[in-house]
Chains A and B, each alone.
Chain A
Amino acid sequence: MSVLARVPARNRHYPSSYSSSGVGDDASEFARPATPPGGTVSSIAVTVDQRQGSLFHDIVNARASADRDDWDGEGSPPISEGTVVAAIQLLYALPEDLPPPEVAPESTAEISFEWYRDRRHVAVLSVDDTYIRWSAITGTDSIVSGSEPFTRTVPGPALDAIRAVVG
């Protein structure tokens, strides 16, 4: 299924079954998309399989739940449109053999992708409109972390940590 996907309006939650073959009025409210690292994006053309479609909607919903100041009652800043663009780019950079992550907004104005096996095996990839960061615990007392400018790819050390978690 091929769709021209644009991030929908604020304060909307879409079920995973949602799909569109075009851009409606709601989607057109997504104005002024941010400039991601490496170039300008005026729209995001994506080919959506079922898994990616589900994660895409998780990203949209993560933004919708965190699109204003203090969205979590703890004074956290909102998720920006640029962060949504980066998260979608990250979604399509993930190797297909990885299990689907859990997507969530972060109090740090990032969107995170999390793989949780148990409390001693957890990996998190987070993006904002500039950086990708990774944090993981890969066994008892074994933690790793790192960051680099986001270039629409998953850094090797981050991928190693995710694979160590998911087994």
Chain B
Amino acid sequence: MLSRVVDDEPLANFVLEENKFKPDGVHWRAFRPGSDGERSVFRVQDLCDEYIAATGQAFVGNLRDKQILGWARLSASAVRAGTPLLARPDVPPPRHAVIVGWPSEKERQKALAMLLASRATARRWP
């Protein structure tokens, strides 16, 4: 894969809790940065849904002893556009990336997470 995340690359943010899905998409909490100040995502260019799901289960779900319930999908350009955020590779695990550049203020983090969620599409799995 390229050493940088390009604009048209799709990213998957895996969802492990049912309450992070909404009828029209994914809840903003799914995009909030963790205590490390990063939001973990995977680069899923050219992957079919079955392979995306297997990647999520192997590297996200199994770590927490949970089944993945699906993922939010959005492009790297949707992360960057109009925000201080960007996605950068962060391997291992393979295809892993992180969304960084979050402001320190909690309220701004939430607003940006809402913006990302508004630009994402939900894929429930299976």
Contact = CB atoms under 8 A, between A and B. Distances in A.
B85 interface: no
Nearest to B82: A141
Contact of B115 (A73, A74, A133, A143): A143
A137 B82 CA distance: 14
Contacts, number: 60
B67 interface: no
B112 interface: yes
Interface string B98-110: 0000000111101
A90 interface: no
B104 to A, nearest CB: 12
B117 A74 contact: no
A145 B82 contact: no
Interface in B82-126: 82, 105-108, 110-112, 114-115, 117-118
A61 interface: no
Name B's interface SS. helix
Interface size class, chain A: 20 to 34
Name A's interface SS. strand
Interface string A63-101: 000000000011110000000000000000000000000
B118 A137 contact: yes
Nearest to B106: A108
B118 A116 contact: no
B106 A133 contact: yes
Interface of B: 22, 24-26, 28, 32, 34-35, 64, 82, 105-108, 110-112, 114-115, 117-118
Interface of A: 73-76, 107-108, 110, 116, 118-120, 122, 124, 126, 133-137, 140-141, 143-147
